[in-house]
Amino acid sequence: MTKSSPSSVHEAILPLLPVVHQKLQSAGIKILAEHPAHDDVIRVVSKLAFTFRSLDDIGEQTYRQAVYMGLLTHYRSHGAVDVTTASNMATKEMRRCACPRDSSVKVDTPRPRRGHTPREILAAEWMAAFTTGHSGASHDGRPAVVYYMLKHGEVKIGTTVNLLSRAQNIRPDQIVAAEPGSYHLEALRHEQFQVFRTRRSKEWFSPAPSLAAHIFDVIDAHGAVPGFFIAGPRKVFA
């Protein structure tokens, strides 16, 4: 596949392009550099590369979901169309970009539906990969994380097995960090930063320098939480 120029794709993504293109083709999708939505698709797919431990940990269906989200983003931002129209356009384009290994193979086109939207599938795959190898990161065997959410200048420290659902309920300005863990780790963090607890509830804290330093340590250790957990503009934690 043709390689994009540095002006069209961020330089940090460029080294990943050959591998990303190969993975997409293995998943039955071919997006040429000349495609109008190429850069939007690559940006979404590349977020997975920085989130999962390895590109090999990402399933083919997740790659297709990411391509769908990239196409959806492109049509929404450049075409100024409503979500339904953009979804239909993305679905149609997914079939045009399909490159199955033989004519009898049908490429599954992601269709948003209750419990199986592209964001929900990406979130579930991320949760599973993020907590792999961490024995304490579970509620009754289910992958769990301790999250740090920023809202109205305060930080919420909590735990969940469904980070996307929790973000949709709390509607934070940003999920600033997450680490594999469950109730025990959450309790330790609450005790660690109890002097900064606000009046809102036991899970909300003022972003004191020591808490901010801890959050950046968590980001260094586990990476940033991908943007698909929150829809719309996000504030920068500093």
* 100/161 same-domain check: no
Q: Judge whether 178 lies within some domain.
A: yes
- Kindly tell me if the per-residue pLDDT of 205 is higher than 60: yes
pLDDT of residue 204: 94
CB burial of 131-166 (b: ≥16 within 10 Å; e: otherwise) equals beebeebeeeeebbbbbbbbeeebbbbbbbbbbbeb
pLDDT of residue 160: 92
**Whether residue 158 has pLDDT greater than 90:** yes
Query: How many domains is the chain partitioned into structurally?
Result: 2
Q: Residue 100 — pLDDT band, cuts 50, 70, 90?
A: low
Domain of 64 in residue numbering reads as 14-106
Residue 102 neighbours by CB under 8 Å, 6+ apart: none
147 inside domain: yes
The last residue of a domain, from among 78, 106, 134: 106
Where is 114: in which H helix or E strand? none
> In this structure, which amino acid lies at residue 36?
P
Q: Say if 1 falls within a structural domain.
A: no
Q: Which residue has the higher pLDDT, 93 or 149?
A: 149
Is the separation of the CB atoms in 172 and 149 below 8 Å? yes
What whole-number distance in Å separates Cα of residue 190 and Cα of residue 186?
6
Confidence tier at 64 by pLDDT (50, 70, 90): confident
Q: Residue 48: pLDDT band by 50, 70, 90 thresholds?
A: low
Q: Does some domain include residue 125?
A: yes
pTM listed for this prediction: 0.56
Q: Is the pLDDT of residue 102 over 70?
A: no
Question: Residue 111: is its pLDDT beyond 50?
Answer: no
Rounded CA-CA distance 57/49 in Å is: 9
Please choose, from the candidates 40, 21, 23, the residue with its C-alpha nearest in 3D space to the C-alpha of residue 31.
21
Choosing from 46, 81, 106, the residue where a domain stops is 106
